[in-house]
Amino acid sequence: MDEVESILNLATERIEAAKSLEELEKIRVSFLGKNGAITSSMKKIPALDPKDKALFGKRLNEAKLKIESLLSDKIAELKVSETNKKMIENSLDLTIPGPMRTIGKVHPITRTIDECVRIFSKMGFDVVEGPEMESVYYNFEALNTPQWHPARDLQDTFYISDELLLRTQTSPVQIRTMERRKPPLRIISPGRVYRNDYDATHLPSFFQIEGLAIDKEISIADLKGTLESAIKALLGEDKVIRFRPHYFPFTEPSVEVDVSFSGKKEWLEILGAGMVHPNVLRNVGLDPDEWQGFAFGMGMERIAMLKYGINDIREFPRNSLNFLGLF
């Protein structure tokens, strides 16, 4: 066995036995490096007999190419092997349950609105909607609210122009509905309203549900019975409800309705209501001697405060995940 064949056989044996890329790199250097076996053999060519130089040099080049090819193949093989090993070590057990993800929940105000709509729908009330940007006529004048009424002041109402504003109540939907539909009718209108007020029980933007019933021979007893049934269905039969005389320009007589905090000698006003004022009926072309009705406006945030035991109404629009996670 001559020198070239011996180098090639040794290189082949060591390459086939290699177990890692690091080991292969050492083999490459030992045979093809600057001081490797092939390089050392090439340095002997000048001393050879002239007739042997060409053949020896050719065989060394062929051996070098063969070793490079063997190295390349082995590198590819080891890379595949290492990849497979990592895949096995890091493989996923698809039978193991995945990590639990936080699931979004319905906001407590949305939940309260939906529950109110279900309760009043069972009582025969239709759901209607109206615009949040409203005209002064529908928000005030058609509802018998005089120019001097404090609700029309700039410090209480968000005006867009002299004739347009962000509605301060859902009551304009009453007028719009009575203009389009003939009585008898029963409607509720959930929606967002705006008032320039902000403290623990007031928000500048909040939700109301407007209610209206128009028929012949409706009395305040019908209003009282409707509201008591709805409030107890919402908040529980044990809730104490208080009706207080009040003034609203669009109802006469008018009341405010308070509900007691559970276990406390305190009251929270949740709605205003009353018998539809004769002038409001006249404004939509109805004869108050023939038709009567009652109306109410319920604050959804106030009801949610009672329902979920929240002391500060400002928690609802903050949308803290810690707070919302309680529901």
How many CB atoms are located within 10 Å of the residue 114 CB?
A: 12
Tokens of 92: 């996923």
SS3 260: strand
User: Are 231 and 273 in contact, with CB atoms under 8 Å apart?
Assistant: no
Q: What is the DSSP string of 77-96?
A: HHHHHHHHHHHHHT---TTS
Residue in the structure block whose two tokens are 């108050």? 288
Q: How far apart are CA 307 and CA 228, in angstroms?
A: 15
Q: How far apart are CA 118 and CA 238, in angstroms?
A: 21
Residue 195's nearest CA partner among 213, 210, 183, 208 is 208
How many CB atoms are located within 10 Å of the residue 46 CB?
A: 7
Residues 6+ apart with CB under 8 A from 215: 183, 184, 185, 291, 292, 293
- Is there a binding annotation on residue 290? no
Strands 185-194 and 126-127: parallel
* Known binding positions: 252
Q: Which residues are annotated as a binding site for Mg(2+)?
A: 252
